[in-house]
Chains A and B, each alone.
Chain A
Amino acid sequence: MKDKKEDKALRELFQDKLGKAEVIPSPSVSKALMRKLALRRFLHFNATSFNVWYAGGIVIAGSLVAVILSSDPGKNEQTKQAPVSTEFNTPLVNEAVKEETTKSSAGNDAEGETVYEAHRDKKSGAEITSDKGAAHIQDDQKKSTLTSVDIPDISEEGLIMEDKTGRNNLKVAVKQSDNLIAASVTEGCAPLKVIFKSIIPPQDSCRWTFGDGGYSTDRNTEWLYDIEGEYNVTLIVFTAGGNKISSSTDILVHPKPVARFEITPEDAILPHDEIIFMNYSTNAVKYKWDFGDGTMSELFEPRHVYSKYGDYNVQLIAFSEYGCTDSLVILNAFSGSAYSITFPNAFIPNPNGPSGGYYSPRSDESAFVFHPVYSGVAEYQLRIFSRLGILIFESNDINIGWDGYYKGALSEPGVYIWKVRGKYMSGEPFTKMGDVTLLKN
């Protein structure tokens, strides 16, 4: 009851206070909204909204492409010769473009020309301005290195009038240049960290794209390539004068080899077993092994015999064809002694008669024989007593266990005591005792 009342009170509080609450948006919201609206309209081209802006844009873009195509050789030369490292702000290229454009548009139809003239009139005041939005359109639509795009200025028709800051005409030229990037390395092994420095005047801004989807707008930056490949790094400089200069360099990242190995057999009995090092390395052409006991090898899959257990650190260094390396160390590889002996605590003798106690893991699937699971046993004596203390079985051969028969007769079900003593291969002695329950089938 109380809960419902509380619930209602809370709902009413928020409904009353916030249901019709008004909050004043920042002025930037409406501006951004109108920009988006205009851009969407522009991109979502349709015939009903076709207007003078489209006509102008198409005419200028078209004529510019024509200019580039027709005057290709001379143009290229001019572009290359344009000073790039010291005089970014000189709008040399842009001037050229403007002139060319004027010339060629003279040949176009009347409508296009008037539109273009209108542009020019406005442009006389503000030379060339760059805008992120415009640059974006330009990137998407045109891939050529020298392009010019006009987009309609939304401020004129925007919801909230923007102050006229000379953004009436957007014009962007991209120029290719090669000496603006200083990279700390241009080739190396993955993961490769490269420090990039841009040689640009302080008043210019820039944008790096690293060729793997990453980008940065810092003047000097660093990037980590962790996947091999050839990456084309591009630096676009937005000069204070409104120019766009791009510069690029290639970074070659070599694959990193991967060092992997396994030690077999897993529970090796030392020094009895020869150890095989299984090599699963990839991207590698050369190997260096350190077995940790002072011996080395350069084989692909070496074999090694250790004289005794110890805290050996086995290391593999894998080298790729480019000299990239990777290493893997297995610490304390043979520290834990693999010597052991354990006994079960129950067994069911074969009711059909004595077997003599010989067994193997395969023949004794039904556990007819009482025997240990062991490794590294050198000497062995097993004795089994009844509860009255009578010795009923003795074996000095680890391969012979107790079949549950005493003097040819099946022993009574019940608890029997076993005692074992012997030596491991290392010379370490062992003694153990316990009980085992003989079960009836």
Chain B
Amino acid sequence: MMSDQQIIEGCARNERKAQQELYRRYSHFLLGVCLRYASDKAEAEDILQDSFLKIFFNIKDYSGTGSFIGWLRKIAVNTAITHYHKYLKFRYYVEIEEFVSVESGISSFEEDLFTSDELFRVLNELPAGYRMVFNLYAVEGYKHKEIARMLGIDTNTSKSQYSRAKAAIREKLEKLRKLKGNYPASNQ
């Protein structure tokens, strides 16, 4: 059993075995990251592939300080952003008017109400712009200012995209909840 440190050193020497092990160990996690940024699994796998190419070619630059998994995740996120910019022209933009804001009154979500599969699908169905901002802010924990710089947009755009993304997500979750016949107590 190789340690992460051994894997990193092996990858830096371009050893196939180390690369193999790195892929085996982290591809599942990284595909989870990529899938949050994609509209389907195929797109996520494209991003994953590019991420690994970057990881293998740049592993020499990993300083060893900070968590390795964090570094990997950062590369995947950056690759997703590159991918988003590259394919931006093929996407269409859905305006907020399509979403009716939902008065949900939800202040907490029951732990096991939604499966991660369902949440992935909610994200996959979002317009790409919303998905980027929501992921970066809500899940990755970047500040709007940082997101604005990463995506090349205005800080206020990031904020408004985020709130629109939230409205869209809430609506989808609400629909899901109703579909499951599980009404929140506060709605009765």
B-contacting residues of A (Cβ < 8 Å)? 2, 5-7, 9-15, 17-26, 29-30, 32-33, 36-37, 40-41, 49, 157-160
Contacts and interface: CB of A to CB of B under 8 A. Distances in A.
B53 interface: yes
A7 B138 CA distance: 9
Given A9-B108, A13-B109, A159-B19, A23 B32 contact: yes
B139 A18 contact: yes
B32 A11 contact: no
A30 B20 CA distance: 9
Contacts of B115: 17
Contacts of A18: 32, 36, 116, 119-120, 123, 139
A5 B45 CA distance: 34
Interface string B31-44: 11001100001001
Contact of A25 (B45, B104, B106): B45
Contact of A37 (B36, B44, B56, B139): B56
Given A9-B106, A23-B28, A159-B23, 11 more contacts: A2-B105, A14-B123, A14-B138, A18-B139, A20-B29, A23-B120, A25-B45, A33-B52, A41-B14, A157-B16, A159-B24
A26 B45 contact: yes
- B interface bracket (residues with beta carbon within 8 Å of A): 35 or more
Interface of B: 14, 16, 19-20, 23-24, 27-29, 31-32, 35-36, 41, 44-45, 48-49, 52-53, 56-57, 104-109, 114-116, 119-120, 123, 134, 138-139, 166, 169-170
Given A14-B119, A15-B139, A22 B29 contact: yes
B14 to A, nearest CB: 7
A27 to B, nearest CB: 11
A7 B31 contact: no
Given A23-B41, A33-B53, A17 B28 contact: no
A11 B133 CA distance: 12
Contacts of B41: 23, 26
The 9 closest A-B pairs by CB, nearest first: A22-B28, A21-B32, A159-B20, A23-B31, A11-B138, A17-B116, A5-B107, A21-B116, A13-B109
25 contacts: A2-B105, A2-B107, A7-B166, A11-B139, A13-B119, A15-B139, A17-B116, A18-B116, A20-B29, A21-B35, A21-B116, A22-B32, A23-B28, A23-B35, A23-B44, A24-B31, A25-B27, A25-B28, A25-B48, A29-B45, A32-B49, A33-B23, A40-B57, A41-B14, A49-B14
